[in-house]
């Protein structure tokens, strides 16, 4: 099912007209399709069904509680990278035994919080973190189920180098050559329960080959670890499954499964997946209103009420997002424009040199495939209250985060007497 499309030339999310949502909630507005989130989770679970998958949805991609409740209801879990994400996941009803904790900089209080929640696994990324986890677990009288995140030294073809994490010259994971020795050490620590092995090579990867290379390396290590007496239970292949930002058909879970299942199956290990964008990206879009259209030095600027504080990706990673008119009118002339926001920086844009039907002031535009790393990376820069978020389910729509107010902006501040 396509979550967004035109009916009678007007953009809809499932059965609800975008214009109706804007009339109710204003702009800028994030709109999510519940059907798309459910559907994408179940496609992933189905494709990897033979490996008893734990689908640990990556909360950082979109951590709205309503989204996390859909994840919980689907029987999926969470990949978290902070105490705040753990708090969100638990609040939304995702049980501790379905949560994995990744990240290079977990604090002592975050580790303690996760130990108390009895999470499925800590993906440990340094010797120092291993020591801290061991000491805390002993102090709390528990054993920490853990995996080492191994750096496989695989270069992954991500659209921007900021989101490639599998090569040896990044801060991520334990160097491949050092992993076996650190596992040996971990095996002797009383607070540590060695359970698995973890790898994550980057985000928005549209080629199965780098995943295969990484998993292949890790599978070789599994044999060594078993020879050393570790009783492994799972192999976490991380996230990073790419989606199509162009409207062209992208890869589907079956493609990733066909590439990875034959590698993992012989190990007998359970697979853990940490998909974020694959689940939430195509399930959301950002609605904005055109404020002004102006021409300067031969260029046309379409100025919308959504800016880089609402959707950072185009500015930060030069990411491409389609811009769709709310009113599809095939007769309209096309122009090449920059779609920009109200923020006082030249880097504030949603699209550059984009050919599109000539937008008029007052009309609505949709930034496509904005459900992942959209709202979750939004800020209040320029003292702009963050956008509202709406969840559409069939013909129903629910406000799942109200628009921030000016009072919200200053709420945490402490005024000096
Ligand atoms: N697991 C780990 C350990 C991760 O670091 C990430 C993403 C994921 C899973 C989920 O990756 P996904 O399936 O969503 O690709 N802000 C960037 C993306 C940063 C991804 C960071 N880590 C963007 O907007 O493209």
pLDDT band at 328 (very low <50, low <70, confident <90, very high): very high
d(CA 383, CA 355): 31
Judged against a pLDDT cut of 70, whether residue 1 lies above it is answered with: no
End-to-end, the C-alpha distance of the chain in Å comes to 57
d(CA 379, CA 205): 26
Tens digits of per-residue pLDDT, 91-115?
Answer: 999 999 999 999 999 999 999 999 9
Judged against a pLDDT cut of 90, whether residue 159 lies above it is answered with: no
Q: Is the CB of 211 under 6 A from ligand 1?
A: no
What predicted TM-score, i.e. pTM, was given to this entire model? Answer: 0.97
Helices 34-47 and 253-264: crossing angle in degrees, nearest 10, is: 30
How many whole angstroms from 326 Cα to the centroid of ligand 1? Answer: 29
Mean pLDDT of 357-375: 97
Tens digits of per-residue pLDDT, 45-92?
Answer: 999 999 999 999 999 999 999 999 999 999 999 999 999 999 999 999
Q: Is the CB of 79 under 6 A from ligand 1?
A: yes
Question: Residue 170: its pLDDT value, please?
Answer: 86
Q: Is the CB of 204 under 6 A from ligand 1?
A: yes
Q: Which residues are catalytic?
A: 344
Is residue 301 within 8 A of residue 338, CB to CB? The reply is: yes
Q: Is the CB of 315 under 6 A from ligand 1?
A: no
pLDDT band at 169 (very low <50, low <70, confident <90, very high): confident
d(CA 149, CA 174): 6
Please name the fold of domain 48-275: TIM Barrel (3.20.20)
For residue 410, report the phi and psi dihedrals to the nearest 5 degrees: -100, 0
How many whole angstroms from 331 Cα to the centroid of ligand 1? Answer: 40
Tens digits of per-residue pLDDT, 379-388?
Answer: 999 999 999 9
Question: Residue 123: its pLDDT value, please?
Answer: 98
d(CA 387, CA 28): 5
Would you kindly state where each structural domain of the chain is located, as residue ranges? 4-31+283-410, 48-275
pLDDT band at 39 (very low <50, low <70, confident <90, very high): very high
Mean pLDDT of 220-236: 98
Q: Which of 237, 191, 234 is nearest to 214 (CA)?
A: 237
Q: Is the CB of 275 under 6 A from ligand 1?
A: yes
The neighbouring-strand residues paired with 57 are 78
SS3 category, 258: helix
Across 131-145, 153-167, 186-200, 246-260, least confident range: 153-167
Is residue 391 within 8 A of residue 32, CB to CB? The reply is: yes
SS3 category, 29: strand
- Ligand 1: residue of 239, 283, 375 to mutate (most ligand atoms within 8 A of CB) is 239
Q: What percent of the chain has pLDDT over 70?
A: 100
CATH number (2.60.40.1730, 3.40.50.720, 2.40.37.10, 3.40.640.10) of 4-31+283-410 reads 2.40.37.10
d(CA 358, CA 194): 59
- Ligand 1: residue of 199, 203, 204, 206 to mutate (most ligand atoms within 8 A of CB) is 203
How many whole angstroms from 238 Cα to the centroid of ligand 1? Answer: 9
Q: Is the CB of 278 under 6 A from ligand 1?
A: yes
Q: Which atom of ligand 1 is nearest to the CA of 373?
A: 24
How many whole angstroms from 59 Cα to the centroid of ligand 1? Answer: 9
The H or E element that residue 277 is part of is: helix 277-280
Q: Is the CB of 276 under 6 A from ligand 1?
A: yes
Instruction: List strand residue ranges (DSSP E) for 187-230, in order.
Output: 192-198
Two tokens, residue 193:
């329960």
């Amino acid at each position: 099912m396509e979550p967004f499309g035109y009916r009678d030339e007007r953009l809809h999310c499932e059965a609800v007209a975008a214009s109706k949502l804007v009339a109710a909630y204003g702009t800028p507005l994030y709109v999510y399709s519940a059907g798309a989130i459910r559907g994408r989770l179940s496609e992933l679970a189905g494709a990897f069904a033979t490996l008893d998958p734990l689908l640990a949805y990556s909360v950082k991609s979109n951590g709205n509680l309503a989204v996390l409740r859909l994840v919980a209801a689907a029987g999926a879990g969470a990949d978290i990278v902070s105490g705040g994400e753990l708090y969100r996941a638990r609040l939304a009803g995702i049980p501790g035994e379905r949560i994995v904790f990744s990240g290079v900089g977990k604090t002592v209080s975050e580790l303690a919080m996760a130990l108390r929640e009895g999470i499925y696994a800590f993906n440990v990324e340094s010797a120092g973190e291993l020591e801290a986890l061991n000491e805390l677990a002993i102090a709390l009288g528990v054993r920490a189920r853990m995996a080492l995140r191994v750096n496989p030294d695989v270069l992954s073809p991500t659209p921007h180098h900021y989101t490639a994490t599998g090569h040896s010259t990044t801060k991520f994971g334990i160097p491949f050559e050092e992993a076996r020795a650190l596992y040996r050490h971990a095996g002797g620590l009383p607070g540590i329960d060695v359970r698995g092995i973890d790898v994550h090579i980057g985000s928005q990867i549209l080629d199965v080959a780098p995943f295969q290379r990484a998993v292949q390396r890790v599978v070789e290590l599994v044999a060594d670890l078993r020879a050393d007496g570790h009783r492994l239970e799972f192999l976490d292949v991380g996230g990073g499954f790419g989606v199509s930002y162009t409207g062209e058909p992208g890869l589907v879970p079956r493609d990733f499964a066909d590439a990875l299942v034959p590698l993992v199956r012989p190990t007998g290990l359970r697979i853990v997946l940490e998909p974020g964008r694959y689940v939430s990206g195509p399930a959301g879009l950002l609605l904005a209103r055109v404020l002004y259209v102006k021409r300067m030095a031969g260029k046309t600027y379409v100025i919308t009420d959504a800016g880089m504080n609402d959707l950072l990706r185009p500015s930060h990673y030069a990411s491409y997002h389609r811009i769709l008119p709310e009113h599809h009118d095939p007769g309209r002339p096309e122009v090449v424009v920059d779609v920009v926001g109200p923020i006082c920086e030249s880097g504030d844009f949603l699209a550059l040199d984009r050919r599109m039907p000539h937008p008029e002031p007052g009309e609505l535009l949709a930034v496509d495939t904005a459900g992942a790393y959209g709202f979750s990376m939004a800020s209040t820069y320029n003292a702009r209250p963050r956008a509202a978020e709406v969840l559409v389910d069939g013909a129903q729509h629910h406000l799942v985060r109200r628009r921030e107010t000016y009072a919200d902006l200053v709420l945490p501040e402490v005024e000096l007497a």
